[in-house]
Amino acid sequence: MTLLTPETRQAVRRAAELLRASRQAVALTGAGLSTPSGVPDFRSEGSGLWTRFLPMEVASLSTFRYDPEKFFAWLHPLASHMLNAEPNPAHYALARLEQAGLIKTIITQNIDCLHQRAGSKNILEIHGTLNTLTCVGCYRQVESTGLIGPYLERGEIPRCPHCGSILKPDVILFEEQLPVRVWMKAQEASQSCDYMLVIGTSLEVLPSAGLPMRALENGARLVMVNRTPTYVDVRADLVFTHDIAEIVPLIAEEALNG
Ligand SMILES: [Zn+2]
């Protein structure tokens, strides 16, 4: 653990105080939360996943439709990273805060299921999940368990157990709309919260990037934990650019025991 300056310690205490004083706190999480778990950010450049593929091209609905082999070849390293990843201390800290009633909802852009595995319950996955797949033929939704293994081991493209058509992972691709019901709930949670903890997202992907503005319009307190600056930093109560896996547990510890 790095040594925190007295100013940072003070800021951690303040973030925890505001959280304790809140009634409806929401966490908004992005790829930066899972990078300490070894999950690359599949939408950003420099993740290594884009050296062979152009993101907008391959992670798109049209590629999936016309060239599913290419799509699944692209997804392969990402899915294998995610399935081998473990939640990090920040995931666990958020689960503890939810258990204690201090965080009501987690809105996540991540598709890696690490919030669930850390024990969080009320999660809105606005970019979908790798946990389920939907058949492009009969539209049945099936669990990934049992299908992802053979795909990762032998490259077998998952097929529907009912009709044999290709299964599409329930992740939101470029050109795809966000899942309507989940997205509505995320907007409602943002509009009605009085504290938003934004973790590991640079807020560059619309429309989810607009959620902190909804919270601010409701007069919510805003606490940012992200490595790089974001457009709402100027309006945030506190901005942390530290290691997420370090600072989020400190805020949680202070809020739970302080
Ligand atoms: Zn089917």
Task: Single out the catalytic residue among 115, 127, 162, 242.
Answer: 127
Residues 197-246 have pLDDT tens digits of: 999 999 987 788 999 999 999 999 999 999 999 999 999 999 999 999 99
Taking the C-alpha atoms of residue 148 and residue 43, their distance in angstroms, rounded to an integer, is: 21
- What are the tokens at 102? 């201090």
pTM for this entry: 0.90
Q: How far is the CA of 62 from the centre of ligand 1 (A)?
A: 19
* Interatomic CA distance for residues 193 and 7, integer angstroms: 27
The more confidently predicted of residues 3 and 208 is 208
Percent of the chain with pLDDT over 90: 66
Q: Cα of 127 to ligand 1 centre, how many Å?
A: 22
Please state, in angstroms and as integers, the Cα–Cα distance from residue 246 to each residue in 2, 68, 88, 154, 220, following that order: 9, 39, 10, 37, 24
Binned at pLDDT 50, 70 and 90, residue 50 comes out as very low
Confidence of residue 194 (pLDDT cuts 50, 70, 90): very high
Helices (H) and strands (E) in the chain, counts: 11, 9
Please name the residues in contact with 238: beta carbons below 8 A apart, sequence gap of 6 or more: 11, 14, 15, 18, 223, 224
Give the pLDDT band of residue 48 (cuts 50, 70, 90).
very low
Q: 122 C-alpha vs ligand 1 centroid, how far in Å?
A: 29
> Pairing relation of β-strands 128-135 and 123-125?
unpaired
The pLDDT, as a whole number, for residue 49 is 47
The confidence score (pLDDT) of residue 75 equals 85
Contact 218, 189 (CB under 8 A): no
Task: Kindly report the average pLDDT of the chain as a whole number.
Answer: 90
Say how many Å lie between the CA of residue 166 and the centre of ligand 1. 8
242 is catalytic: no
- pLDDT for 95 equals 98
Specify the pLDDT at position 178. 84
pLDDT at residue 250 is higher than 80: yes
Q: What is the pLDDT of residue 235?
A: 97
What pLDDT, on the 0 to 100 scale, is given for residue 161? 92
**What pLDDT, on a 0 to 100 scale, did the predictor assign at position 146?**
85
Write out the H or E segment, with its range, that includes residue 154: helix 148-154
Residue 15 half-sphere exposure toward CB, CA atoms < 13 A: 27
